[in-house]
Amino acid sequence: MNSSFWTVVGFTAKNKIRGKAFLITTLIIAVIMSIAINLPYIISQFSGEGKPTAVGYLDSNIEKAKSNLFTHTRIAAMLNDYYAKQEKPELKLVPIPDAGSAEANEKALKQAVADDEIQGYIEFSPGKESGFPAITYKSESLMESKVSASLSAALQVVKMEAVIGGGGLSEEVKALLTKPIELESVQISTVEGAGSIGQGKTKEQQGMDFGTVYVIIIMLFMAIMISGQMIASEITAEKSSRVMEILITSVAPLKAMFGKIFGMFLVVLLQMAIYIVVIVINMTLPQNADKLGELGIKLSDVDPVLLTYSLVFFLTGYFLFATLFAAVGSIVSRTEDLGQAVMPITMLSLAGFYICIFGGMNNPGSMLMKVCSFIPFFSPYAMVSRLGLSDPPLWQVWLSILILLATILAAGWLSAKIYRAGVLMYGKKPSLKELGKAMRAYK
C-alpha cells in the first residue's frame, strides 16, 4: 500500500536531483552566498580598510599665525593626535598647503579629492556663539555617516580636553566625564508564555532568537517559493505530456499527489542543507569568524524550544502551500499558463512574509501580528516571529498549530479532489463551475 507512495517519492526526488537545473541553480546560489558572506572581507581587501581614511584640511597660513585656543590648524593637529592614539586609527588628517586666495584653496582641496589623495576635507566657518568654529565635512559620497560620526565624536573629546586641559582636573575625573552612559532595555513577561523572551535572557541570546526567527522565516519563504513552483510545473508537465493518464490508472491520485509533494520536500531539504553547509563553512573561515565573534553569534545560544516550534511551523507551512500549488498545477494544462495561475498563492506567501519582516520584526506584539498568527496562510510566519520576539501564551501557539493542521487536512482533501478532477480536464482553464462539477463526479 505504502510502497507506491514511496515509489512516487523516490522517482520525483531522484529525477529532480539528477537534473541539470537542480545542480546549476544550487551551485549558482551557493556561489552567490559565499560571495555575499565574504563581501565585507573582499571589500576591505580592496579598499584597504584598516588603514585610516584620509581627510584633508587647509593648512592656512593666516590661521597658523593666530594665537587663539582653537585655530583651524590647531584643531586639526589635536584631531590627528586623538586618532594617532587609537589602536586602529579611523582617520588621519592631511594638510593641504595654502594656495593664497580662497578660490585657489578650494580648487586645491577639490583637486586633492579628485586625485584620491584624500577622501574628503573639512572646512571651518565661524561658530555661532562659542569660540569653537562650525565644521563642514565635504566629500564626494552622499552619506559619509561613518566619517562624520567619527569626526563628531573626536571633536567633542578634543574640545573638552582642550577646554579642561588647563583646569587641573585629575585623569579620574576626566575619565568619568568622558565615559558614555549605560542604558539597556530588558523585556519581561507578565504571564507564563511559550515564547523565548522573559526567561532572563542575555542580549546575545535575544539576538540569537531574532536571528533564528529571521532564518526560519526566510527559509520557509524560500522553500515555498522554490518547491511550490516546481510542484506545480511538474504536475502541469505530467498533464501536458499525458503521463498523467497512465499515472492515475496505476496509482491512487492522493498518493500520486502527496508522493510528489513529499519528494519535492526532500529535494528542497537537500538544497537547504547544502546552503546551510555553505554558509557555515564560509562563516568559519578565519577572516569571517572574527567578524561573527564581534557580533556575538554563537550557535550554542539558539533556544531549543524556539527551534522546535519553528520547525513545526516550517513543516506545516510548507505542506499547506505545497498542496495548494499541487492543486493549481493540476488545473492548468499548459506550462505557459502556470505563472499566471500560481500568482494568487505566490502573493499569499509573499504577503505573510512581508507582514512579518516589515511589520512583525519591529513590533511582534501588535494586533496585526496577533490576528495574523491565527490566519492559516500567515501564521507560519507570524507565529514564529511572535515566538521568537515576544511572549505569546501557550494556548495561542497550540491553537494556531491546530488551525494550521485543520487547514492542511482541508486543503489536502480539496487539492486531491481538484487534482483528480483537474488532471483530465484539458484545453482552456476550467471555470470554477466546471471544476466543481468535475469534482462532484469523483466521489
Partner 1 sequence: MNALSVERIFKQYGDKTAVNGISFDVAPGEIYGLLGANGAGKTTTMRMVLGLIYPDSGTIRYEGKSYGKEQLQGLGYLPEERGLYPKVKVSDQIIYLAQLRGMSRRDADQNLRYWLERFGVPEYYGKKVEELSKGNQQKIQFIAAVIHRPRIVIMDEAFSGLDPVNVELLKSTVKELRDSGSSILFSTHRMEHVEELCRNITILHRSNPVLQGNLKAIKKRFPRERIILGTEDDVKGLEKVGGVMNVKRHEYGYELLINDEAAGRPVLELALAQTNVNRFEIMEPTLNEIFIKTVGESHE
Can you give the binding site for partner 1, defined by CB under 8 A? 3-4, 7-8, 11, 14-15, 19, 238, 241-252, 424, 441-443
Alpha-carbon torsion (228, 233, 234, 239), positive or negative:
positive
Query: Three-class SS of residue 53?
Result: strand
Judged by CB, which is closer to partner 1: 248, or 278?
248
Output the nine-digit C-alpha cell for 113.
Answer: 579629492
CB of 267 to partner 1, least distance (A): 15
Judged by CB, which is closer to partner 1: 199, or 250?
250
CB 231 within 8 A of CB 328: no
Judged by CB, which is closer to partner 1: 248, or 267?
248
**Which amino acid makes up residue 60?**
S
CB of 23 to partner 1, least distance (A): 14
CB of 425 to partner 1, least distance (A): 10
CB of 113 to partner 1, least distance (A): 58
Distance CA 295, CA 17 (A): 36
Query: Three-class SS of residue 49?
Result: strand
Judged by CB, which is closer to partner 1: 99, or 252?
252
CB of 441 to partner 1, least distance (A): 6
Distance CA 345, CA 351 (A): 10
CB of 232 to partner 1, least distance (A): 16
Judged by CB, which is closer to partner 1: 292, or 424?
424
Residue (of 155, 147, 136, 165) closest to 58 by Cα position: 136
Judged by CB, which is closer to partner 1: 85, or 443?
443
CB 342 within 8 A of CB 356: no
Long-range contacts at 30-39 (CB < 8 A, ≥ 24 apart) = 30/274, 30/275, 30/278, 33/275, 33/278, 33/279, 33/282, 34/278, 34/282, 37/279, 37/282, 37/283, 37/288, 38/282, 38/285, 38/287, 38/288
CB 6 within 8 A of CB 259: yes
CB of 4 to partner 1, least distance (A): 5
Distance CA 76, CA 56 (A): 9
Judged by CB, which is closer to partner 1: 146, or 242?
242
CB of 8 to partner 1, least distance (A): 7
Annotate 267-296 with b (16+ C-beta within 10 A) or e (fewer).
Answer: bbeebeeebeebbeebeeeeebeeeeeeee
Judged by CB, which is closer to partner 1: 8, or 147?
8
